[in-house]
Chain A
């Protein structure tokens, strides 16, 4: 069972096999958590949203259809939860793309060089517009392809690709600054 594909596990869970869910959960927990955490930055809030995502998975098991990869489905749910979170904060989907977020990272000037470079990178990631950061995280953490990212975020492939390119360029610039 531990080698079974995600989709098979989810179908088994839909059929009442809770151990299948446990396998699935352990497979995705860390990456999904980091995706959420780095999307919204505040751990307590991230834990709340992370739990909500899994609860939605549990509640929606009856409607699950393996028409796409489970990972895409899972991160679509996570994306929807994040969008709800951002909307509550007064951000529209457009603004998610437009505005670089202010960084709450401490000034890295007093850190050692290695830590300074890492902090600079972390700062650059944090300052990415949410939509670009999300696409980058979906790419890095979830391992989604551009078409899958487009599907998960409800955008077209061109937009997803463009966001990823912008995100990469900004992060690369942060690396090169060092």
Chain B
């Protein structure tokens, strides 16, 4: 750095003047800052203002998920009545994860009943754990049977979120206040048994997290690019403005910018 320093240049630069913002501008900014300080800024708790759209989307997705689980639970025949090989049929692989979640719930209900007072009671708690699995090729590890906490009928986003943070998007998501709050609000770290849940359970959690957790800038940009492709420019404009407000220091690459900006 030393070679760039030139006191003569600095001195001459200082002679150019010391312009300052007007008092009105100062007042306007400070007033906005004071107003903002009075408002809560944890949109997961109180979604408001311009952040509304993806909270609404997330809430709607969670609602749909909950309904889907309920419907699946209602449709599900008694596991005891199922033929033993039914679950290993390949068609079960493409079952949606709502169904998987429900089955996971059922699997966990039996052993966790003594500890279940820590969370909401699972749907269909009366059912016995079925012998069949959602991942048909692999038998469930015995630890699954010992999972201590009963999985609630509605997935718990905070826990899923914290698990999701360990995956690729952790860096960006980690910057998000909601993510932080979610993690802070999350239940205690899973026990060793819980960490050995089958892959299906982890995937389920990630799927839930992707709905419940706030989107990272990269995810938002991908979504905006999709909106552009679909010609939904108004929504894309709003989302882009939202992104820039929420992540003012996030730099959009030129390549991505071409995809997300309204074509001229």
Contacts and interface: CB of A to CB of B under 8 A. Distances in A.
Nearest to B248: A56
Interface in B63-99: none
A134 B42 CA distance: 35
A57 B251 CA distance: 15
A-side binding surface: helix, strand, loop or mixed?
A: helix
B117 interface: no
Interface string A93-131: 100000000000000000000000110011001000000
Given A77-B248, A77-B249, A172-B9, A16 B30 contact: no
Interface string A35-77: 0011000010001001101111111111101000000010011
A4 interface: no
Nearest to A34: B19
B37 A13 contact: yes
B149 to A, nearest CB: 30
A158 interface: no
A168 B249 contact: no
B189 interface: no
A65 B254 CA distance: 25
A8 interface: no
Given A58-B32, A63-B246, A121-B16, A168 B6 contact: yes
A171 B12 CA distance: 10
A80 B251 contact: yes
Contact of B176 (A29, A53, A63): A63
B230 interface: no
Contacts of B15: 118, 121
B-side binding surface: helix, strand, loop or mixed?
A: helix
Interface residues on A, range: 35 or more
A168 to B, nearest CB: 6
Nearest to A52: B248
A175 B8 contact: yes
A91 interface: no
A82 interface: no
A17 B36 CA distance: 10
B29 interface: yes
B245 interface: yes
B175 A16 contact: no
A91 to B, nearest CB: 12
B21 A140 contact: no
A51 B29 contact: yes
A25 B29 CA distance: 9
B118 interface: no
B185 interface: no
A140 B13 CA distance: 8
Nearest to B214: A63
Interface in A130-162: 139-140, 145-146, 154, 161
B12 A121 contact: yes
A76 B16 CA distance: 24
Interface in B1-39: 1, 3-4, 6, 8-10, 12-13, 15-16, 18-22, 25-26, 28-30, 32-34, 36-38
B1 A146 contact: yes
Contacts of A146: 1, 4
A69 to B, nearest CB: 12
B177 to A, nearest CB: 4
Contacts of B9: 168, 171-172, 175
Nearest to A176: B8
Interface of B: 1, 3-4, 6, 8-10, 12-13, 15-16, 18-22, 25-26, 28-30, 32-34, 36-38, 41-42, 175-177, 244-251, 254, 257
8 contacts: A14-B41, A25-B30, A30-B18, A63-B246, A63-B247, A92-B254, A145-B1, A171-B6
Interface of A: 13-14, 16-18, 21-22, 25, 29-30, 33-34, 37-38, 43, 47, 50-51, 53-63, 65, 73, 76-77, 80-81, 84, 87, 92-93, 117-118, 121-122, 125, 139-140, 145-146, 154, 161, 164-165, 168, 171-172, 175
